[in-house]
Amino acid sequence: MHVWLSSVLVTAGFFCATAIAVSSTNSSGFVASDGSLSFALNVPQDNGSDELYFSLVGDSSCSWLAFGMGSQKMKDSLTFMVYSDASGKNVTVSPRLVYDHSEPTYTNNVTITVLPGTKIDGNTTTLNAKCSNCRAWKGGSVDPTNTAANLIFATGPSGNLNTNSLTADIKRHASYGVFQMDLTKSVGAAGVPNITTSNSAGVKELKDQADHDVSAPLHACLMIIAFVGLMPLGVLILRVLNSPKWHGINQTLSFLLALIGAFLGLSVGTMYNRTKGFNTAHQIIGIIVIMMMIGQFVLGFMHHRMYKKTQAPTKLSPYHIWLGRVVIPAGIINGFLGFPLALVPKYDFALLALVLLLIIVLLPFAFWRYRRNIQKAKTVNSNSVTGYQSRPWENQTAQNDINLNQMNYPPHYGKQGYGR
Ligand code: HEM
Ligand SMILES: *[C@@H]1O[C@H](CO)[C@@H](O)[C@H](O)[C@H]1NC(C)=O
Ligand SMILES: *[C@@H]1O[C@H](CO)[C@@H](O)[C@H](O)[C@H]1NC(C)=O
Ligand SMILES: *[C@@H]1O[C@H](CO)[C@@H](O)[C@H](O)[C@H]1NC(C)=O
Ligand SMILES: *[C@@H]1O[C@H](CO)[C@@H](O)[C@H](O)[C@H]1NC(C)=O
Ligand SMILES: *[C@@H]1O[C@H](CO)[C@@H](O)[C@H](O)[C@H]1NC(C)=O
Ligand SMILES: *[C@@H]1O[C@H](CO)[C@@H](O)[C@H](O)[C@H]1NC(C)=O
């Protein structure tokens, strides 16, 4: 009897409290048409208030969820990025400003108070929050009388950031969109707004689309095709097929691919806070490698032109060969620095597998060449053989003076033979 009575009272009290909440808090709700997130906003009516209350519910498999205010573009928006905190059970809310089509940058100009009900539970992330100093920022403001205020939203690709850092590094969005809200409908007494299951009156979505940006993966693919695939292949073409012509064609192609890849990399670098200073190891080494590669291309080209004129090896070829021996491994090593920078460090294992495969493919050729060179060293010493001189200095006489007419191909390893 007692229990029954108290539950009636508690229930009545609950409804009573709810009734008060309903009658006193106006809010507007938005539901993204792709179902990725829902958002509700309350603009406290008190004059002079600089506060906003909002609620955001979304798919917790996304590495981040975000909304922004002020514009139909990222530019000039005040955004709020929500991601899992270190415990994985609650959220980190990072207010960020955007000046461009690039990763928003943390601002400490606004104050977020995370409120009860906030959690990461199963597949759902829920945020209830109050934001202070939130109605004006560099680039925009919230006008409670605006009947078509612009807002944006976006979701990150799947993953968990699990960090308390307000400046956490993130990947670019998986989907993004734009919506409008009649803010006059969300003006009311201060309080956490309710998430709705469909758009409230005065709320409409203008855009909701998947982000199909491939510039970063394409950058990685082109570089790997060039440095792990084509460039070593070009060495084989010269050494095994003995074809300087196809070596040149192949290396021109790999040079062009790597150049396109470099421009893609430069453009990707402008998008993230961690890379827009262009001072990470990957970017610095990358720029050096690309400059060396341009040098390598020019050297190879000039060497070949001089060779065609004289039908004799040139002074440039040792530089070409040694620069090539530095550039290709440096480019490959730089790939291992690129994946962690793109927040996909596990791809380093795939790259490692490719490099091991390359070594396995190259080993028999190296062995074959080693055997052949030993043979040649025994027989060729005195013979003059014509052909393409890829390593003329190997045959230099002790005077250090290159006598072009004495050059042999294939090279022999006498006392001055290099590398042994
Ligand atoms: C690493 C972080 C981010 C990067 C690198 C980035 C980059 C970009 C780029 C390059 C575009 C242009 C896409 C195109 O025109 O094809 C774009 C569009 C867009 N992004 Fe982001 N974004 C990031 C984070 C965010 C966040 C946090 C939001 C939401 C709060 C957002 C919302 C939007 C929206 C609504 C658009 C379409 C409107 C526009 O062109 O500005 N983005 N983003
Ligand atoms: C808020 O949600 C509760 C249920 O959680 C509901 O009873 C109440 O009517 C809602 N209030 C508004 C203003 O939508
Ligand atoms: C709030 O501001 C409006 C004008 O901005 C004014 O008309 C109104 O009297 C103010 N209300 C209070 C309670 O201060
Ligand atoms: C998350 O943090 C907020 C603010 O500290 C708190 O009110 C809420 O209860 C927390 N949620 C969980 C599941 O711990
Ligand atoms: C939520 O996650 C569970 C597994 O953890 C899955 O079976 C279920 O389909 C998910 N629900 C939604 C709506 O994604
Ligand atoms: C910081 O807040 C003040 C007061 O609302 C605002 O005028 C200023 O533009 C803000 N600064 C930035 C960088 O957003
Ligand atoms: C809620 O909005 C209606 C108009 O849409 C308004 O009449 C009412 O006063 C508002 N409630 C509060 C508490 O401001």
pLDDT in tens, 129-138: 999 999 999 9
pLDDT band at 406 (very low <50, low <70, confident <90, very high): very low
Q: Which residue has the higher pLDDT, 312 or 15?
A: 312
- Structural domain of 36: 26-210
Nearest residue to 54 (alpha-carbon basis) of 206, 181, 209:
181
Within-domain flag for 3:
no
- pLDDT tens digits along 257-311: 999 999 999 999 999 999 999 999 999 999 999 999 999 999 988 988 888 888 8
* CATH number of the domain within which 200 lies: 2.60.40.1210
One domain, residues 99 and 119? yes
The answer to whether 55 and 40 have CB atoms below 8 angstroms apart is yes
| End residue of a domain, out of 210, 231, 258 | 210
Of all residues in the chain, the percent with pLDDT exceeding 70 is 84
One domain, residues 161 and 310? no
> Which residue, by CA, sits nearest to atom 9 of ligand 5?
123
DSSP 230-252: IHHHHHHHHHTS--HHHHHHHHH
Ligand nearest to the CA of 114: 4
One domain, residues 36 and 185? yes
> Which residue, by CA, sits nearest to atom 4 of ligand 7?
185
Distance 191 CA to ligand 7 centre (A): 13
Distance 26 CA to ligand 7 centre (A): 6
Within-domain flag for 384:
no
Within-domain flag for 13:
no
285-299: b (≥16 Cβ within 10 Å) or e: bbeebbebbeebbeb
Q: What is the pLDDT of residue 7?
A: 46
* CATH number of the domain within which 334 lies: 1.20.120.1770
One domain, residues 206 and 219? no
- pLDDT tens digits along 327-366: 999 999 999 999 999 999 999 999 999 999 999 999 998 8
Within-domain flag for 18:
no
Report the nearest atom of ligand 6 relative to the CA of 78. 14
Identify the residue whose tokens are 């070009």: 234
One domain, residues 204 and 100? yes
One domain, residues 228 and 199? no
Question: Any residues with CB less than 8 A from the CB of 116 and at least 6 apart, and which?
Answer: 128
One domain, residues 185 and 37? yes
- Best mutation site among 18, 41, 192, 203 for ligand 2, i.e. most ligand atoms within 8 A of its Cβ? 18
> Which residue, by CA, sits nearest to atom 13 of ligand 4?
119
Tell me what the pLDDT averaged over the chain comes to.
Answer: 86
Within-domain flag for 294:
yes
Q: What is the pLDDT of residue 380?
A: 58
Within-domain flag for 380:
no
User: Which residues form ligand 4's pocket by a CB distance below 6 Å?
Assistant: 89-90, 114-116, 118-119
Q: What is the pLDDT of residue 409?
A: 32
Within-domain flag for 250:
yes
Within-domain flag for 199:
yes
Q: What is the pLDDT of residue 400?
A: 36
Report the nearest atom of ligand 4 relative to the CA of 116. 7
Q: What is the pLDDT of residue 19?
A: 34
One domain, residues 63 and 116? yes
Q: What is the pLDDT of residue 375?
A: 87
25 C-beta closer than 6 A to ligand 2: yes
What domain count does the chain have?
Answer: 2
121 C-beta closer than 6 A to ligand 5: no
